[in-house]
Amino acid sequence: MAVGETEKATFTIPVGPIHPALKEPIRLALTVDGEEIVDADVFVGQVHRGIEWLGMNRNNPIQSIYTAERICGICNICHPFSFVMAVEHATGITPPPRADYIRAITAEMERIHSHLLWAGVAAHEIGFDTIFHLAWRVREEIMDLIEYVTGNRVTKAMFQIGGVRRDITEEQFPRIRQSLDYYKSIFDQLKKVFLDDKTIRMRTKNVGILKREDALKLLTCGPSGRASGVPKDVRQDQPYAAYADLDVKAITPDILTGTVVGDVYDRIIVRLLEVKQSIEIIEQCMEKMPPGPLLAQPKIAVLLKTLTKAEGEGIGRAEAPRGEVVHYVRMEAGRETLATWKVRAPTYVNLMSVPTILKGMQIADVPITFASLDPCMSCTNRVVVTDRAVGRKSVMDYERLHQLSIEKTKELQL
Amino acid sequence: MEKLTPQAIIDSFVTELGDGFFGGSIRECEVAVKKNKFRSLWIEVKKSAFRHAVEHICRLQEYPHLAIISSSDLGTEVELIYHFTIYYGYHLQELSLGLRVKLPKNDLTIPTITDLIPGAIFTERETQEMMGVEVVDIPDGRRLFITENVPEGIYPWRKDETGPEKLLRVLPGRKPKGKDKKG
């Protein structure tokens, strides 16, 4: 019997576009030859909510800060951060220096929590749930700290055009230091767990390689780009807020290992070292924090009037945990809403490297390889697998993929 | 390669593009306590000189980072700004470069730059579906974000009759145009 004669029937298992366990829906179409992936395609747009349209048609700029905050649940500091900087750039409002420092502190807290969250997810993807639970338990400390400082665990509402809405006072410093000391004390242990563990090394070394040249061509940014040896970090290149006073260096994996491979293991190194860097940045910010007001214009009605009269355009660029966030705004005099608002999130560009890094991998490597870019991750729950040899098409759900990944880890451990 | 000052970059565009260069400006603002400068460059070019301008940027920086293409509906024309960053990788040396090009509404086409910068594909696809600007020779012209059931000829970012007005459900405080149906 010739291959493909009876196997031509195409069947599809409908798995909804939103998977309750994960962050954001997306679909990958993988063309496979047996176990090996020969091509991949990305389909996005399942959660396109028209947020930019709301900013251009319904909300005034101050309301848009809170819409921007809701673009992403994890990076809910960097989007309003970038947005208020864009509006400030367009209108010429300068935030007071103290606000710049408070902004940087909250942004670094976000980076710590996001990287630890990612570390847990990555461990889960390779079926190493002990580390998943460890990483997320460790993450609770920073979440508590975020709640202590901003009053909320997720959407923090700290930002205002021309400053911040809440202060971080001297009395709060001991509590912040206590959390930072906790992370410093366990950092070596975390490093040992993530970088020296045999299973993790087996599953991540030489997996999902993104070469430096590909990263540059495909505009990959953030930790994924830095792991491929592109030292691009807005905090270093074109520093904003308090980073302009500090000397932040982009972290590439060769700092630790001496070489750049660009695989999943390198992405772990970069994120782990960035946690340490964030702790140092927060400490420096607390030391250097200047006194002064928090807002350039405390009266919201006056601010709103200024914004309505304002004419101009501006860009705001911030380094989010996943890479560079760019907001562009255009304001017209007499118009209450923004004339144009364009948001560029880091995953937008990082997704373009997915076909490149998946090529030549096995299906069981898809979860960890894909997760290593730290995209909003539920992507893997709707992978269409087309088997080229038999011409069969089926939808593989997240559970099955996850199972394959666990099986591979177990095989390697034997 | 030697790094040019912002003014030298503008001068190089003038000599390179000649008539195709419409204008350029440098904007600087001071940040935080040390007052380091956040520098951005804005360059406007004629549509016919656009490809040439992007090629020139690729000479200034080996792999320029294209952050995004932003597009605005200005009534009779559509304005595209290609937000590049160049000279990255070094402390305080990066520059944001906005390359502006205006297209008349009766000829909304722009050549693709994916041959120069392969990573421009997503943002070109998005500009095509959201603003109705046809990207000539785009290697992959499928829709990116908008679903199949949105009819052709509706462009969400437009402010004229091709905007999404007809597709909107009633938002709080907003009355639908056209037929006044309840429910």
Domain spans, chain A: 27-47+349-413, 51-207+234-240+282-347
A5 CB near a chain B CB, below 8 Å? no
Sheet holding A382-387, edge to edge: A36-43, A27-33, A382-387, A392-397
Q: Is 60 exceeded by the pLDDT of residue A20? A: no
> Which chain A residues are Cβ-neighbours of B67 within 8 angstroms?
317, 324, 326, 344, 349
Q: Is 90 exceeded by the pLDDT of residue A361? A: no
Locate A173 and state its tokens. Answer: 């410093």
Nearest CA of chain A to the CA of B119: how many Å?
A: 4
Which residues 24-53 of chain B have a CB within 8 Å of chain A? 27, 29-34, 36, 38-40
Q: Do B31 and A48 touch (CB under 8 A)?
A: no
Residues forming a β-bridge with B71 = B80
Mean of pLDDT values over A11-21? 35
Residues 6+ apart with CB under 8 A from A8: A390, A391, A392
Residues 6+ apart with CB under 8 A from A154: A73, A76
Mean of pLDDT values over A146-151? 94
Q: Do A94 and B29 touch (CB under 8 A)?
A: yes
Above 0.85 for ipTM, yes or no?
A: yes
Tens digits of residue pLDDT in A386-408: 445 555 556 666 777 788 888 88
Q: Do B143 and A45 touch (CB under 8 A)?
A: yes
Mean of pLDDT values over B144-163? 85
E strand residue ranges, A23-68: 27-33, 36-43
Helices (H), A192-233: 198-204, 212-217, 222-227
Q: Is 90 exceeded by the pLDDT of residue A93? A: yes
How many A-B residue pairs are in contact by the CB < 8 A criterion? 135
Q: When comparing pLDDT for A36 and A292, which is higher? A: A292
- Confidence band for A18, pLDDT divided at 50, 70 and 90: very low
- Confidence band for B176, pLDDT divided at 50, 70 and 90: low
Q: Is 50 exceeded by the pLDDT of residue B182? A: no
Q: Is 60 exceeded by the pLDDT of residue A84? A: yes
- Confidence band for A185, pLDDT divided at 50, 70 and 90: very high
A352 CB near a chain B CB, below 8 Å? yes
Tens digits of residue pLDDT in A123-143: 888 888 899 999 999 999 999
Q: Do A330 and B72 touch (CB under 8 A)?
A: yes
Q: Which of A228, A319, A340 to mutate to test the interface with B (most CBs of B within 10 A)?
A: A340
- Residue % of chain B over a pLDDT of 70: 91
Q: Do B119 and A218 touch (CB under 8 A)?
A: yes
Integer Cα distance of A158 and A142 in angstroms: 17
Mean of pLDDT values over A182-203? 92
Task: State the pTM of this model.
Answer: 0.89
Q: Is the four-CA dihedral A17, A319, A359, B64 of positive or negative sign?
A: positive
Integer Cα distance of A273 and A255 in angstroms: 9
Helices A264-288 and A173-191: crossing angle, nearest 10°? 160
The pairing of beta strand B21-31 with beta strand B36-45: antiparallel
Mean of pLDDT values over A155-175? 93
> Which chain A residues are Cβ-neighbours of B100 within 8 angstroms?
none
Where do the domains of chain B lie?
6-118
What's the pLDDT at A54? 86
What's the pLDDT at B171? 57
Quick one: which of A211, A201, A199 has its CA closest to A357?
A211
CATH of A51-207+234-240+282-347, one of 3.30.565.10, 1.10.3370.10, 1.10.540.10, 1.10.645.10: 1.10.645.10
Q: Do A45 and B94 touch (CB under 8 A)?
A: no
Using DSSP, state whether A343 is helix, strand or coil: strand
Integer Cα distance of A105 and A294 in angstroms: 14
Name the one residue in this structure whose structure tokens are 């349209």: A53
Please provide the average confidence, as pLDDT, over all residues in chain A. Answer: 85
Q: Which amino acid is at A399?
A: E
B3 CB near a chain A CB, below 8 Å? no
In the CATH scheme, what is the homologous superfamily, with its name and number, of domain B6-118?
A: NADH:ubiquinone oxidoreductase Nqo5 subunit (3.30.460.80)
E strand residue ranges, B32-150: 36-45, 65-73, 77-86, 95-104, 109-111, 134-136
> Which chain A residues are Cβ-neighbours of B89 within 8 angstroms?
230-232, 237, 250
- Residue % of chain A over a pLDDT of 90: 57
How wide is the angle at C-alpha A121 spanned by C-alphas A120 and A124, nearest 5°? 90
Integer Cα distance of A282 and A183 in angstroms: 12
